[in-house]
Structure 1
Amino acid sequence: MELKGIHHVSAITASAANNVHFYTDVLGMRLVKKTINQDDPSVYHLFYADEIGNPGTDLTFFEIPRAGTTYPGISSISRTSLRVPNDGALKYWNNRLTEYGVDHDGMTEQGGRQVIHFRDPENQRLTLISDETNAGVKGGNVWEHSSVPADKGIIGLGPIKLTVQDPAPTINVLTRILTFRETGSYPSPIQEQDDIRVFATGEGGTGAEVHLEVRSDLPKERPGRGSVHHVAFRVDNENELAKWKDRIQAERIPNSGLVDRFYFKSFYFREPNGILFELATDGPGFATDEDVDHLGESLALPPFFENQRDAIEANLKPLDTTRPY
């Protein structure tokens, strides 16, 4: 068994409407699913991705209207990367972020790749990363109705960064249990801190990396709006997922057991530094209950919530995601 790369990253927003505006109108991602948090049906769960929500392209948000400020720290998923096709596309983004007044640091180099670090309106810590030299997991396809040109748009999730105080237990889980391998490192931007170490799985490349940062100068993160809830890694199918669950159980790591999210099957566990990991199947996908041309326009509910639709819709603040085309 071998994990195939990053499946999705799920974060927190305090405003679904503002979130939709930024990720669709400014970043040009497609809203492929407007649904509910299955663990709390009173709030939205929004999925942004490529043209059809291919695995490895999904950045998702739980709406928690009263979410407070995030205080960054250790035991966290401290940065999410979004892939663009090449260095030329990154130059386009450097101009676009400035044009839209997005807080960003300009183009810089990180581990041999060109990147732009930036923040969304809720201080979500994000990076655009160029696939110019990528030889690993392929990216997705930009939606034809994106607000960004197809040859410049976001094509998937890039490396995610974990920030911990003690790296050894996390490395043990990544390499001994989850089939990641250490492939390199690059200098930390923070003085007197260790290099950031790079771990890859499957075919490797930008879509299959975890970057591990050690910080001895930070308290534990206090999550809020703009923080990341969990990262999910790709598993091929349900049979393999069951074997992964058995492996985690054999290690005596507490876990959720198998969970049916309808659009994929998964299970969850925390690695020793407290960061929440999910393993999720590649299918069946987001077109299971909606026409591909109209993904994300209506409130989609898995069949096991359909009998509660009236009550659920009554508790949700209306969110218009219909499109003019």
Structure 2
Amino acid sequence: MTWRNPEFELGGVNHLALVSSDMRRTVDFYTQVLGMRLTKTIDFPGGSGQHFFFDMGGGNSLAFFWFRDAPDAVPGVSQPVTVPGIGEWTSAVGSMNHVAINVPEERFLEYRAKLKAKGVRVSPIIDHDDSPEGYATELHDGVFIRSFYFQDPDGILLEFACWRREMGTEGDVSHAPKTAADRIRVS
């Protein structure tokens, strides 16, 4: 039985909108490397910007803005510096840390190899489990999601992930949420 939201009939992500420094390069990466279909393009008046949409599958879209006057990204602030398993991946409050794209588990390793063959630098595979470290050194039945990370040409952190079981079962929600008072302020 699927859980039903009693407040709103939500149907997943309509689209996630990110900012590109070079829309042509973004289109090339998402269509040629990841195989997404470009579904809608918009030019803003006066050449001030563009808004392009890509089909991610499952009724979900990934969108990009290109703004003529957009400030440059600040790795380590507006986005992670690199990918988990390779280096620093923290980003600032209010930033978009990464986009996780669902892939079938039976094709997970194939897709990782395919990206590597296309020249994309990918992270080690991370098998997320409930151990104190949060990941396993070997695949086992307690691994609830497998993933690896990579970056697009603008450094946007992407993840291919596959669920290994249904979430929301007993023990899946067992941690008290941290508050702003728990943060270490970095200046």
Q: What TM-score range do you get, normalising by the shorter chain?
A: 0.5 to 0.7
Q: Does 1:104 align with 2:136?
A: no
Q: Distance in 1 between matches of 2:151 and 2:115?
A: 10
Q: Distance in 2 between matches of 1:130 and 1:105?
A: 15
Say how many residue pairs are matched: 144
Deviation at 1:122?
0.9
Equivalent residue number for residue 267 of structure 1: none
**Which residue identity lines up with residue 184 of structure 2 in the other structure?**
S
Deviation at 1:92?
1.3
Richer in helix (by share) = 1
Richer in strand (by share) = 1
Q: Distance in 1 between matches of 2:94 and 2:49?
A: 25
**Residues 44 and 113 (structure 1 numbering): CA distance in 2 closer, same or farther, change over 3 Å?**
same
1:7-26 aligned at under 5 Å gives the runs 7-26=14-33
Q: Alpha-carbon deviations, 1:204-249, whole Å to 9, x = none?
A: xxxxxxxxxx863655xxxxxxxxxxxxxxxxxxxxxxxxxxxxxx
Equivalent residue number for residue 320 of structure 1: none
Percent pairwise identity: 24
Q: Distance in 2 between matches of 1:30 and 1:134?
A: 29
Q: 39, 44, 47: which one pairs with 2:53?
A: 47
Q: Alpha-carbon deviations, 1:251-290, whole Å to 9, x = none?
A: xxxxxxxxxxxxxxxxxxxxxxxxxxxxxxxxxxxxxxxx
Deviation at 1:93?
1.7
**Which residue identity lines up with residue 76 of structure 1 in the other structure?**
S
Equivalent residue number for residue 64 of structure 2: 61
SS of the equivalent of 1:89 reads helix
Alignment TM-score, normalising by the size of structure 2: 0.64
1:164-183 aligned at under 5 Å gives the runs none
Given that residues 120 and 126 in structure 1 are in contact (C-alpha distance below 8 angstroms), is that contact kept between their aligned partners in structure 2? yes
**Residues 41 and 4 (structure 1 numbering): CA distance in 2 closer, same or farther, change over 3 Å?**
farther
**Which residue identity lines up with residue 94 of structure 1 in the other structure?**
R
Deviation at 1:70?
2.6
Equivalent residue number for residue 155 of structure 2: 123
Given that residues 90 and 116 in structure 1 are in contact (C-alpha distance below 8 angstroms), is that contact kept between their aligned partners in structure 2? no
Given that residues 85 and 132 in structure 1 are in contact (C-alpha distance below 8 angstroms), is that contact kept between their aligned partners in structure 2? no
**Residues 11 and 135 (structure 1 numbering): CA distance in 2 closer, same or farther, change over 3 Å?**
same
Q: Does 1:84 align with 2:87?
A: no
Given that residues 37 and 44 in structure 1 are in contact (C-alpha distance below 8 angstroms), is that contact kept between their aligned partners in structure 2? yes
1:166-315 aligned at under 5 Å gives the runs 184=173, 216=184, 218=186
Equivalent residue number for residue 86 of structure 2: none
Q: Distance in 2 between matches of 1:196 and 1:118?
A: 30
Q: Distance in 2 between matches of 1:31 and 1:19?
A: 11
Q: Does 1:133 align with 2:165?
A: yes
**Which residue identity lines up with residue 98 of structure 1 in the other structure?**
K
**Residues 218 and 102 (structure 1 numbering): CA distance in 2 closer, same or farther, change over 3 Å?**
farther
Given that residues 103 and 120 in structure 1 are in contact (C-alpha distance below 8 angstroms), is that contact kept between their aligned partners in structure 2? no
Deviation at 1:62?
0.1
4+ aligned runs moved over 6 Å, structure 1 = none
Given that residues 48 and 68 in structure 2 are in contact (C-alpha distance below 8 angstroms), is that contact kept between their aligned partners in structure 1? no
Q: Alpha-carbon deviations, 1:133-192, whole Å to 9, x = none?
A: 3579xxxxxxxxxxxxxxxxxxxxxxxxxxxxxxxxxxxxxxxxxxxxxx537xxxxxxx
Given that residues 47 and 68 in structure 2 are in contact (C-alpha distance below 8 angstroms), is that contact kept between their aligned partners in structure 1? no
RMSD value, Cα: 3.2
Given that residues 90 and 107 in structure 1 are in contact (C-alpha distance below 8 angstroms), is that contact kept between their aligned partners in structure 2? no
